[in-house]
Amino acid sequence: MWRSFARQPGAGTDRVARGARTTPRHAGRTGPRRPRRWVGTALAVALLVPTTGVAASTTAAGTPAGGTGAGAARAAAPGTTVDAVATAARSSALTGAVTERRLRKGETFWMFGRLTVSGSPARGRAVVVQKKRMDESGWRTVGTDTTNRSGRYSVRVRAGAVYEYRAIYRGSSSARSSWTARIGVGFTTADRTMTSRERQMGAAIGRPTSGHRQVTRTVVSRSYEKGILVKVTRSGRDRTWWVHGGILGEYRHLGGATGRMGAPVMDPLCGLARGGCVQRFEGGVLYSNGDGAEAATGLKGALGEVVAAARSQVGYRVRYDGDNGSRYDWYSKYNVWARTNAPWCGLFQSWIFKASGHAGLVPQSTTWGAYKDSVRRKLPTGSTPRVGALAFVSYIASGAASHTMFVVQVDGSRIKVIDGNTGGGGALPSGVRGVVEHWVPESQVLYYAYPRY
């Protein structure tokens, strides 16, 4: 397990746990424990759906996944582009519904439904849930699930803005594609009490296992089979948030609502790379994934989520053979994720943004040259160090940028960075590359690139 629970970068506060696997912090602790298993980049969400779902389903039988609307089966017109859809004689039908269409910003809901092929439940088929703003033309994937033996799927979503959602089955050699009609999900300003949130979540949180506990004057919590609900009262208004899984264990370890993280400010965002989840709190961000990697930071918002994901990887290391040509880099898990044997310092940076739910903030390229060029083309650059910036340095004779690092602290003439495919300036033994958090002179940096958080 790679663990790094350093306090948010700041003068005299940063401690970094490096090295190989350490003793789990869950020993002697109550609360859910994560399964130690490979989860992959597409999380198979549990098919337990809250019982209070809002029916809003329609079907689209045999229609190309790139189209719009629902209707009878039809083939794509010659010359049109669709999403890798195989044509077949058998039709499919996909239904879709959401558990609730009006939520507080940051609350979790589920999109769920059923896939049939020629009228029979279709098991083991991938269903993709996508979203878009009503003024956008393109759809973005928010989650994928594999249908169970009854043909049912369920994808958990954290509401961040007003979006339309749809589910797509892209078809196969044995069935045509299909997709649901669009379902709009918006926001409400109503209070969320413990009772109303419990009703909204339904079976997804399980039965209560405790009574209501007054944690502080403004915070009340209650335990359930699948996490806790935390009601926070601010300025006379109630919000109730869900904390669960690996994040719940670390939240309790850090003192819960009375510790340095304080009360949650939204539900966790889950279904990320390697089964990851991130959650925002009043005092910062917690990150956890299915590998057992965890981290905390006092930074907030999207920046805090990226920093927490990056810090969770500190201590990862892999041996390499420098005489093995282009193959040696393949052995890092970031190479496996990107399916490339390119040097992986840029792959690591792409991974931490993807793993925190912010893949769109930096290029997701599979070669160093493409990554470096895309960053220069798409992001603003400059010479001023900032927390959250990408720092580019040169370790080659030509003086061109040959390595990238992620800035997590600035202190005068030096910066603290997290980078991959590095020896960390002597922090790792010869023949070992890894992910290291360390200080470097600011004078070494050629230029910075600034993601738009």
Tens digits of residue pLDDT in 26-52: 444 444 444 433 333 333 333 344 444
- Give the integer Cα–Cα distance in Å for 202 and 157: 15
**Position 4 pLDDT exceeds 60:** no
**Position 173 pLDDT exceeds 90:** no
pLDDT of residue 319: 83
Q: Are the beta carbons of 97 and 215 closer than 8 angstroms?
A: no
Q: Of 348-352, 359-363, 378-382, give the lowest mean pLDDT range.
A: 359-363
pLDDT of residue 38: 36
Q: Which residues of 102-123 are buried (b: 16+ CB within 10 A; e: fewer)?
A: ebbbbbbbbbbbbbbbeeeebe
Tens digits of residue pLDDT in 103-160: 999 999 999 999 999 999 999 999 999 999 988 889 999 999 999 999 999 999 999 8
Classified as helix, coil or strand, 326 is: helix
Express as a percent the part of the chain with pLDDT over 70: 78
Half-sphere exposure of residue 237, counting CA atoms within 13 Å on the CB side? 7
**Position 445 pLDDT exceeds 50:** yes
164 pairs with which residues across the strands?
132, 184
**Position 204 pLDDT exceeds 60:** yes
- From the list 280, 282, 337, 344, the residue with the least C-alpha distance to 318 is 344
pLDDT of residue 322: 56
The stretch 262-270 carries a mean pLDDT of 96
- Predicted TM-score (pTM) of this structure: 0.77
Name the one residue in this structure whose structure tokens are 């699930």.
Answer: 145
Give, for 142, the enclosing helix (H) or strand (E): strand 140-146
**Which are the contacts of 248, defined by CB distance < 8 A and separation ≥ 6?**
31, 32, 227, 228
Tens digits of residue pLDDT in 282-318: 999 999 999 999 999 999 999 999 999 999 999 999 8
The encoded tokens of residue 223 equal 């335990």
**Position 57 pLDDT exceeds 50:** no
**Which are the contacts of 345, defined by CB distance < 8 A and separation ≥ 6?**
368, 403, 404, 405, 419, 420, 421, 422
